[in-house]
Structures are given as structure tokens and as C-alpha cells.
Structure 1
Amino acid sequence: MSQSVIVKRKAIVRKTHRPMVLAALVLAMFMSAIEMTIISTAMPSIVGELGGFSLYSWVFSAFTLMQAVTTPIYGKLSDLFGRKPIFMIGIVIFLSGSILCGFSTSMFMLVIFRVIQGFGAGAVQPIAMTIIGDMYTVEERAKVQGYFSSVFGISSVIGPLVGGIIVHYSHWSWIFWMNVPLGLLAAAGAIFFLHEGVEKKKRSIDYAGSGLFFVSITSLMVVLIQGGGAWRWTSPQILALLLAFVLGAALFLKQEGRASEPMMPLHIWRNRFIAIGNTATLTSGAIVIGLSSFLPTYIQGVMGGSAFIAGFTLTVMTVGWPIAAWLAGFTIIKIGIRPTAVIGGIAIFIGSLFFVTLDPSKGPMWAGAGSFIIGIGMGFSNSAFLISIQNSVPWQMRGVATASNMFMRLLGSSVGAALLGGVLNLRFKRFISSNENPLGDVISMNSINQVLNSSGSHPLPAEQLHIVQRGLTISLHQVYWGVFVLAVITLIGTLMLPKIESKTD
């Protein structure tokens, strides 16, 4: 790029009103992030009106699936055409999907419109984080990214609460329509206050690479969502999708090696910050979903605690996360990115020890303490990973680099849910058929549902309850050993980050 173009870009960027743009980005991030949790408390009312309980899980999965597969594509497009237009396109698509979701008259329609929502969310979150990387210096970015991480924690905490309030006092459709004013304000902030200079030249879009990536990753994500549940792992559907993933991935790699403007430049993975940071982000994402999915089962099914207590043990994680992310902004400036990441890795490791040693006698406070410490670790490590990745590439690569990190976090959630869920199911089935289960066929996988359904009209007899709780204890202990292994890998990743950081700003 010529020196004159660089100077011109800097002159334009200086006109950007950073506080107003930051406010707009926070609104957009909040709007997108809360959509993943706000719907949880509204789902019973939605199912009661629309029916279609068989599609229940796809209301959640459709959103995350489409967000995951489009995030890297939008990242590359923002490098080609600028952040602002791609960000605006994402908001428009997201709001369109939100409005349509509120008008759904069947569960099938809701799932389709959630796909549209996810299609827009795939642009909103990564481009917002990339704009932050463009507007602020490394030192400023450390603090601002910490504030941004707080958005995820806050939305996780208040999302279910807001959803419950809306359903109680109004109609469930407003959990989608409330996005409209937020999205319009975010769009206005970007339109009027964000100014960027983009080099004017003919662009070459990698349609083939984008299509192959979309097909291969969609196939993989559907396998992870449906495998072991709706479809057996050896079913024709799973095998066909795995074949599609393998072939699509192979063709994608071949295409990216010869494209003039590859959708995912393979050479960025030779960057140690990106390779190591994204790998550790994947494992940490799997840890979070593992605790979010299975800790309430332990608290309610094994310890006999209420749903409120189970929710509390997870809420403390979302409290620790934003606190640590905010502190990471200062530690990165004082001691550097790598030491900050290591602090996070150590905290995640220590937190995982709480779950490996968890037993019913220790009570929910022990689980809550482990959850809080892991949240602290996530805040430190994830902030350090993202900032190191953004700081190790030039402007022309920052969009795709940032998107790759967010994609790995989403992929980690899907992989973690499938992997740790498979461990739970396999170990409980083994328990059922072993000598540890004296009641034989009386106990089944459905027995877990009866234990967790505290309001059920047919509770399990005491003897069966004791056996199921014993099986759950053993099975979930294996899950937490899986969390421990993931924590070790994450810690190793933080230790392997390069000591000397690239200065490309």
C-alpha cells in the first residue's frame, strides 16, 4: 500500500468520534449477545403457543450454527470492503430476522427466522471487535476490550431475567422486537460517527472458498448438534454429513491455496499468536459449554439443589469473567500480553481442580467457587488472546484474524457440548449395564429426566433415586475430568504464546 493512501486513511480515521462509535458497538454487541440467552426463559411460552416441541433445540442451534459458519466470511469481507458496510449489512440482516421471528406462527418458521438472525449476528460481533482494534492503540485496546468482554457477562446474567419479565408482562414476540430500537441506534452511531479510509481497487471475492467453507462447517456443526441425540453416531445421516465435511474441507484447503484473495488465508495460521491463541480459545470455549450444560445437572440431580441454586453456581462465572477482563486491560499494559494470558490459564486450571474433586458432600458453594475462578481465568486469557491476535497482523488481515478467534470459540462450544455430552451418555449407559446398578432395566437414560423434573407428578422411588444419583455422580465425574484435560491444554497454550510481540499498528 502506498504511503499516500496510509496517510489518507489516518486522516480520515482521526475524524471518527470514538466515544459515540464505542457506544454504538456496545449496543450492537449487547443486542447480539443477549439473543443467545434471553430466549431460554421464553421457550415454554413459545412452545405452548406454536407447538413443535421436536424442534425445541433447533431454536438455539439454528442461531449459533449460522453465526459460526458466517463469522470468518464476514471477517474477510470487512478486510476487502471496510468494516462499516459489512457491519451495517449484519445489523440489517439481524434486525430483519428479529422482526420475522416475532411474527412466527409455527416452530418451523421460528427456526428458519433464527437462521436469518444468526446470519446477521455472524457479522455484528466480529466486526465490532475488529473496529475496536482499528480505532484504538494497543494500550487503549487492552482496556476497551475488557469493557467489551463485560457485555457478554452482563448479557448472560440478565438475558434469562429480561426474557422472563417480557413473557410475564407482555408477549414472547417482544424478546425479538426489542432488538429493533437497539439495532437502529447502533446503526445510526456507525453511520454518522464512524469514518474509515479503504483503499480503492478492484476486489476479488473468493466465492468458491466461501461456499466450500459454508458447506463443510455446516455439515460438521449439524453432526455435533444432532450426533448421539437425534441421530446415532453410526446413522446414515451422520456418516453422510461427515463425508461432506471431509470432502468440503479438502476442496476448501485446495481452493484457498490458489485463490488470489482467499476467504481464509492459510498463511495466517503460521502466525504463532493466531495458531496458539485460537487453539486455546477452542478448548476454553469447550470448558465454558461443559460447565454451563452439566453443572446444573450435578447441582439438581446429584446434590438435590433447586434450579435457583444451580443458576447461581453459573452466574458467578459470568461475574468473574467481566471483572477479570476489565483487570486484564491494566495487566496487559503493566506486565504484557503473555503473562496476562498465563494468569488466566493458571486460574482456569485451578478452577478445574474444584470440579475434579467435586462430590455431593462439598455442596454448591464448592462448585460456585470453581465456577468463579474459571470465569476469572476466561476474562484474563480471552482478552489476552484477542489483543495479541489483532496486534500481530496488519489492518488488511485484522478482520479475518479477529473472526477466526470468534469462530474457534463458537466451534469449541459445539465440540465441547458433543464431546462432553458423549462422555456423560457413554458412562451412564455403562453404569446401567454394570454390577453397580442392582435394579437392572428399571434404570434407564429417561430416569435422569425424572430426577431433574422436580415438579413431575411421578417422582422416582427412593431406591431408584439413589441409584440414578450414584450413576450421575460417576458419569459427571468423568465429564469433569474432561474439563480438566481441556484446562491443561488451555494452560499449555498460554505458556506457548511468543514472548516477543509483533508491532504492526
Structure 2
Amino acid sequence: MTETASPAPAPMSFSRKMTIYVALLAGLFMAVLDAQIVATALPTIAADLGRLELFGWVGAAYLLATAAVTPFYGKLGDLFGRKRVFMAAIVIFVIGSLACGLARSMEMLIAARVIQGLGGGGLMTSAFGILADLFEPRERAKYQGFSSAVFTVASLIGPVAGGVISQTIGWEYIFLINLPIGIGVIIVLIFAMPNFETGRKPSIDYMGGFLLAAAVTALVFWAEEALGGGYGGVMVYLLPAVVVAALVGFVVVERRADEPMVPLHLFSNRSISLALAISVVSGVATLGMLNYFALFLQTVTGLPPALAGLLFLPSSVGSLLASVGSGMLVSRTGRYKIFPVISMVLGAVVMIGFSTVHATTPLWFIGILMFFFSVAIGLQMQTLMTAVQAAAPMRDVGAATGTITLARMIGASLGLAANGGLLTAALMRGQEGISAGTLAAMPGPMSEMTPTAIATLPPEAASEVVEVFATAFGTVFYFGAALFAVGFLCALLMPNVKLAGRGGEAPTGGRAAPAGVPAQAAGE
């Protein structure tokens, strides 16, 4: 297919770039926040709307819709220009948020969350793609550090914000708060952001996108059913076949497509393939673990919700410092490999540290662990994004960005299900060893014991239940440590390349990149 040369956008002032950048961060923050904010608001929502058996789909619907459309947005940005695609995504997201706030039944809310997710996937993918348009590779690493910090902070404060808002002004406002922010972002980008026209003739790979969306959706749904504790149902056995068939069909279609949704040649680049593998593994061990920390802190240490929430503050600080600091160092040196390596080692150590936490563990020690857990997240998220964008040809930056975003989401989805399944299984094993008196005092099975229920037990029974929870969470944390070890091996295998600086500074070794080849590729 003949490609028309992309006209270079007119030079922009620093203040204009920063205006666009802040607007992108606001959009990214909303999209990530809404993936987590419903966790603590769900009991309130279910009490108001009824249909308690459906409340799990309030979160799953958003996650599935976001995962399904992420590859589309990356490729559409490459074809039509990322401004148009980002604007369309935020309009869809705002409409979905309004529909969520106005929902008067659980079914309506789930449908509205699907709409919201269709926009949220575009916000996450397009925001990082636009950064590639705004900044050179080294400079981009610095600003992606702030972006990754926003990603992590939103994930951390989402459950806390959801609980506070739902209990004070009403659960509807966890969605309606997006309206003024989203409208403000739209107004800013209309006037401040150039079009970044690609000059390419649109040729959308609908079939490839559909097959990839089907594979991802089936995989996430299977994880919820099998790993999350569904077990035994026919879908547990049928969905893996759907995943395999969809992926085979996807590869066949992508080989023949003029504009493949995910160009298969990206996977032949070692930096990209290893970054994607690390993103999936670390997504399971980090983003897939965040939702369980509040339960861990309240059950094992006995902390009230407010104090447990305060322990997330060190996490926010750790993520911010690690993301921004690593971004600045990559910007200065052009080297990024060391950061995912350190991240994986640190993550494994922190997971082992968490496995030692019991009811008498000092709060300062838990705070340190929370801090370094998010440092581990911050060190790898933006550096892997930088690695993928630098290794991909400029015409495929959007597709590459969408692919690594999708990899993280798949990891987070698998992590939520796998960690939940491990915890439930360990709790039920622990129940077999507790005393008859404790078992008689419990209002239900161990897997349904909440912090509130534990507080109603006699002291001896409560202590025994807490010990079972501590042991069960230890299983989850050891699993996380093993995942970080796998990620460490992948990080070691990444090429130790040097990003090009301003004016196309040559990579290490003095070999300039050929025309049309990313600067990183010349150093591999």
C-alpha cells in the first residue's frame, strides 16, 4: 500500500504543549479512576438498585469494554490522527458517565458502564499516543513519568474516593463528577491541540479488530469464571477454545491486511515483545493486587477503613517519585533497561515482606512496604511504554501504544481473578483447620468473612480467623513474588539500547539509524 508522507505539525510553544499535556492527564486520570472507583461503592449501589447478584458486572462491564476497544483506538489514531480519536473517546466517556449517574436499575448501570468503557479505552491509549506526537523520545520519557504516576495514583485512590463519595453525597456522583472535567478537557483540546494529520488513506482492519476483541473478551471472561472461583461451568471449557480460534484467525487476517490492527512485525522486535511480556506479568502482580490491599489491611491488621486508606498515601508518594524520577533519568541518559530490572527485584522483595505481616506488625513497616510496592510499579510502567514507542516505527506508534496498554489491562484482569481465586481457595483450606468453637461462632464460611464480621467474634475466635487470613494472603503474596521473578528474567533479556536525543542523536555505538527506522532499532 502506498503511504502518503505525513505532514509535520507546526512547532508548538512550551506553554501550548503543557496545556495539551495537562488536559491529557485529566482525561487519563478519569479513565483509570473509573476502573477502580466502583469497588468500595458497590455495596451502596446494590442496596439502592437491588440485584445484588449482578453487582460484580458493574466493574467487569467497564473492564471488558475497555479491553475490547483498546487496539482499535491505537490504530485509528495512526490512521485518522490522534486528536480526532481522543476527542471522540472523551465524548463517549462523558455520555457513558452521564448515563451511569442517571441509571435507575442495575441493568441500566451495567449497560452505561459498557458505554463508559468504550470511551475509557480510547482515553488511556490515545493519551500515551499523543505524547509521542508532542515530545521526542528522551523528552517523552520525562513526561510519561508524570503520566504513569497519574495512572498509579488513580488506581490507588479510586477505592477510597468511591467509598467517601458514595457515603457522603451519593454514589451517582462518582460518575457525574466526570462531566465538568470531561467537558473542560474537550474545550481545551479543541483550541489548543493541532490535528496531527497522518496523511494516510484510511483502511480499517475491522475483521482483525473484531477477532482480537473477541479473544481478549473471552480471555478476561474465562479468568473471571475459572480463576475467580466460578469453576465447573461449561464456559470454563468453551472460552479457551474461543480464545485460541480467535487468535489464530487474527494472525491470518493480520498477515493479509493493508493496515493491520496490530502489525505482526512489532512482535519480532525483542524490546517490544519483552516489554509486552513484562507488562502482562507485572499487571497481574501489581494492578491485579491493588484491590486486595484494603481487605488485607482491614482483616489482618484490624485497621478501620479510614486508617487503612491512609496507608495508601505512601503508595501514591512512591509511585510519583519513581515515575517522575525514572522518567527524568531516562531523559538525561537515554537508558531505560535498568529500571524494569530494579522494579522486578524490588517487587519480589516487597511481596515476600508482605507475606510476613500479621496482626502485631508495626504500621510503619506496612507503610514502608506500601511505599516500595508503588515504587516498583512506577519504575516500570512509563519506561516500558517508552521502550515500545521508541522501538516501533513512527507509523505504528499508536498501534504499539494500544498493544502495551492492552497487555497491562489483560494482566490486571487476570490478576484480579487469579489473586481472588488463590485467596478464596486458601481461606477454605484454612477453615478446615480451625477449632469447632470458632467455626460455630462464625456467621458464614471463611471466604465470606468481612472485617465487620470478624469484629463481632469473640477475641479467641477472631484471632484464629485473622491468622487464617494472614496465611491465605501469604499464598497470594508468594504468587506475586514468583511473577516478579519471571518479570525479572524478561527484563534482563531486554536489549540495553540508548534512546535518540534531540536532533536524532545516535544510539550507543555511534551508528545512526537508517531513514524510516526508529533510532532505537539501530542500536539493537
The two structures have a TM-score, normalised by structure 1, of 0.90
CA distance in 1, matches of 2:480, 2:308: 18
Correspondence for 1:480: 477
Is the 1:356–1:484 Cα contact (8 Å) retained in structure 2? no
Identify which range, 442-451 or 365-374, moves more after superposition.
442-451
Pairwise CA distance, 1:492: 2.3
Correspondence for 1:39: 38
**Which of 265, 281, 290 in structure 2 is aligned with 1:292?**
290
Pairwise CA distance, 1:15: 7.8
1:227 partner SS: helix
Structure 1 residues 184 and 474 mapped into 2: Cα distance closer, same or farther (>3 Å)? same
Correspondence for 2:507: none
Pairwise CA distance, 1:379: 1.0
Is the 1:451–1:465 Cα contact (8 Å) retained in structure 2? no
CA distance in 2, matches of 1:431, 1:38: 31
CA distance in 1, matches of 2:293, 2:23: 35
Structure 1 residues 48 and 202 mapped into 2: Cα distance closer, same or farther (>3 Å)? same
Which amino acid in 2 is paired with 1:94? F
CA distance in 1, matches of 2:255, 2:452: 52
Correspondence for 2:81: 82
Structure 1 residues 426 and 31 mapped into 2: Cα distance closer, same or farther (>3 Å)? closer
CA distance in 2, matches of 1:302, 1:419: 20
Correspondence for 2:487: 490
Structure 1 residues 51 and 140 mapped into 2: Cα distance closer, same or farther (>3 Å)? same
Which amino acid in 1 is paired with 2:123? V
CA distance in 2, matches of 1:474, 1:334: 44
The answer to whether the aligner puts 1:60 opposite 2:62 as a matched pair is: no
Which amino acid in 2 is paired with 1:250? V
Is the 2:90–2:182 Cα contact (8 Å) retained in structure 1? yes
Correspondence for 1:264: 262
Structure 1 residues 423 and 262 mapped into 2: Cα distance closer, same or farther (>3 Å)? same
Identify which range, 307-316 or 395-404, moves more after superposition.
307-316
Q: Deviations over 1:323-352 (max 9, x none)?
A: 111111222134421123333333323322
Pairwise CA distance, 1:41: 4.4
CA distance in 1, matches of 2:469, 2:454: 20
Correspondence for 1:465: 462
Correspondence for 1:323: 321
Is the 1:392–1:501 Cα contact (8 Å) retained in structure 2? no
Structure 1 residues 277 and 70 mapped into 2: Cα distance closer, same or farther (>3 Å)? same
Correspondence for 2:175: 176
CA distance in 1, matches of 2:447, 2:237: 29
Q: Deviations over 1:261-316 (max 9, x none)?
A: 21111221111121111211112211224532333333322332322333333342
Is the 2:288–2:411 Cα contact (8 Å) retained in structure 1? no
Is the 1:319–1:372 Cα contact (8 Å) retained in structure 2? yes
Pairwise CA distance, 1:110: 0.1
1:5 partner SS: coil
CA distance in 2, matches of 1:89, 1:26: 16
CA distance in 2, matches of 1:211, 1:324: 37
Q: Deviations over 1:447-492 (max 9, x none)?
A: 3433522587xx3344543443332222221111101111212222
Correspondence for 1:254: 252
Structure 1 residues 403 and 108 mapped into 2: Cα distance closer, same or farther (>3 Å)? same
Is the 1:13–1:197 Cα contact (8 Å) retained in structure 2? no
Which amino acid in 1 is paired with 2:424? N
Structure 1 residues 359 and 136 mapped into 2: Cα distance closer, same or farther (>3 Å)? same
Is the 1:67–1:120 Cα contact (8 Å) retained in structure 2? yes
CA distance in 1, matches of 2:435, 2:453: 24
Which amino acid in 1 is paired with 2:349? I
Correspondence for 1:389: 388
Which amino acid in 1 is paired with 2:393? P
Structure 1 residues 320 and 145 mapped into 2: Cα distance closer, same or farther (>3 Å)? same
Pairwise CA distance, 1:113: 0.4
Is the 2:79–2:201 Cα contact (8 Å) retained in structure 1? no
Is the 1:292–1:314 Cα contact (8 Å) retained in structure 2? no
Identify which range, 296-305 or 108-117, moves more after superposition.
296-305
Correspondence for 1:275: 273
Identify which range, 114-123 or 37-46, moves more after superposition.
37-46
1:35 partner SS: helix
Identify which range, 247-256 or 83-92, moves more after superposition.
247-256
Identity among equivalent positions (%) equals: 29
CA distance in 1, matches of 2:86, 2:459: 56
Structure 1 residues 201 and 149 mapped into 2: Cα distance closer, same or farther (>3 Å)? closer
CA distance in 2, matches of 1:419, 1:80: 36
Correspondence for 2:114: 115
Which amino acid in 1 is paired with 2:491? T
Pairwise CA distance, 1:445: 7.0
Which amino acid in 2 is paired with 1:111? I
Structure 1 residues 450 and 393 mapped into 2: Cα distance closer, same or farther (>3 Å)? closer
Correspondence for 1:134: 133
Is the 1:309–1:364 Cα contact (8 Å) retained in structure 2? no
Which amino acid in 1 is paired with 2:265? H
Q: Which runs of 5 or more structure 2 residues have no equivalent in the other structure?
A: 501-517, 520-524
Structure 1 residues 439 and 152 mapped into 2: Cα distance closer, same or farther (>3 Å)? same
Correspondence for 1:5: 5
Is the 1:432–1:444 Cα contact (8 Å) retained in structure 2? no
The two structures have a TM-score, normalised by structure 2, of 0.87
